[in-house]
Each structure stands twice: as structure tokens, then as C-alpha cells.
Amino acid sequence: MAVRSPTVNIMIRAAEKAARRLKRDFGEIEQLQVSRKGPADFVSNADLASERTLREELLHARPDYGFMAEESAGNEIVGDGIHRFIVDPLDGTTNFLHGIPHFAISIALEREGELVAGVIYDPIKDEAFWAERGAGAFMNDRRLRVAGRTELSEALIATGTPFLGHGSQDHYLPILARLMPMTAGIRRYGSAALDLAYVAAGRFDGFFEYNLNAWDVAAGILLVKEAGGFVTSLGSKNPALTAGEILAANDRLHGRLLKIIMDR
């Protein structure tokens, strides 16, 4: 039986409470109010309600902590300057708005710049992926380990592809052309948080993506590391949390994937 700290319990309870509204809204998608953030970026009242619930629940329990979230980016709550929740209230909004049941709530806790706890909750499958620094990674009560595959020919790799207004096809398509003949398959599911959780769970053998934000990856980074995996940026010298790009895999595949992606 996995033992969760009081802080992780608070994070999971907050995610579950926000998820109840998301599941209800998912069943009534046609009635949602939706607006555009960018050329192909959408925000709905479901995103906003989820973020509001998470902020209220997390800061009620930890009123001195900072809070940074996707929909209120630019209006971060600084708090004590030591602790900060990093939140994506609905990762996979496009899936959500198209009726595809693959989306998640992502919550990470940072202490003095270090990720110390993370929760990724899939409301549809009722799967709570969680991790604490030094204590391992879990899905509900089951301990997680990254997959042990050592051959790229057996590896299933997840990614996020460029879309309207985001990313460069000229940069990305050659990467796919190099990877596709060498792997068992490439998957693009539309939720970076769940892609990372699936790497931690051994469902995917690796994941890479560009044009990401901290709230997309914060909880997932800790999950993969605590499940025995490696997480880095791609070409950047900055850590994956702030680089806007990420590669996650086990120790046997990470270096080879990095060389192929970077074509060196």
C-alpha cells in the first residue's frame, strides 16, 4: 500500500474535486462557452472553472504557497517565495472539446526551485499518477517503473506535433522521418502530461516535444524521474522545466533517441 504525504493527499483531493466538474462538462460539450487564445488554442469555461477550483482548494490548504497556472499565466501568486504550485487545469483541451476522452489535470509542487511532488489525474479513467521526490512514483496504489526495453525497434514513442500557429513542420518532419523506420511506432495523443505519465508507467518507452510550458511538464518530469527514467531538454542547456522542450525515456534509450532527434 503506497503511503501518500499530507501534501500529495491535498493535491489529489483538489484534482478529484476539479475533475467532477470537468466530467460533467465533458458530457455537455455542445453547451460550453469556448474562446480562442491563439490560432488553434482554445479556452473554455471548463478550463477556467477547473483552475478556479484548484486554486481555491490548494491555497485553502496551503495559503502561503505560490500558484502558477496556464489560464492565469502572467498573474502568478508569489506566496512565500519558497513553495509554488504549478498547475495545468485541463491538459488536452482540444481533445476535450472534440469529445475525445483523453485529458488530465496536472499539479506539481516546487520547493526552492526543485520539484518535490506531482499529480496527474485522468478523470475519465480515474487514474491518479503521483510522485514525491525520493519516494517513488505510483498510479493509484501501484508502484511505477519505466519500461525496460533496450531496443528502439521495440520502443513505442510519444510526441506532440506542430499545429496551426505552433512549431515548425520543416524542423519536425525530418525528425519523424528518422525515427519512424527505427521504432515500433509513434503516437500523438494530445496531452503532454499524460504522455509523461505513460512513460513513467511503462506504457510508452519515450516522449519528446517542443513548444511546451512549465505547467505542461512539471508533474510529469518528477513522475518519470521517480519511476527510474531520464528527463532532459533537447538542444537547450536549460532544464526541461524551463527549456520549452523535453525528452523522457529510460537510461538505455534516452541517449540514442537524443542523437536521432538532434541528428548527430
What are the residue ranges spanned by the domains of the chain?
Answer: 6-143, 152-262
CATH topology of domain 6-143: Fructose-1,6-Bisphosphatase; Chain A, domain 1 (3.30.540)
Is the pLDDT score of 39 beyond 90? Answer: no
Is the pLDDT score of 247 beyond 80? Answer: yes
Query: Is 77 exposed, middle or buried, given 0-12, 13-18 or 19+ CB atoms closer than 10 A?
Result: middle
Q: What is the mean pLDDT of residues 47-52?
A: 92
Q: Where are the beta strands (DSSP E) in the chain?
A: 34-38, 41-44, 66-69, 83-91, 104-111, 114-122, 127-132, 136-139, 142-143, 156-159, 185-187, 206-210, 230-232, 245-249
- If one compares 150 and 166, the residue with the highest pLDDT of the two is 150
pTM of the predicted model over 0.85:
yes
CATH topology of domain 152-262: D-Maltodextrin-Binding Protein; domain 2 (3.40.190)
Question: Are 6-143 and 152-262 the same fold in CATH?
Answer: no
**H or E segment to which residue 218 belongs:** helix 214-226
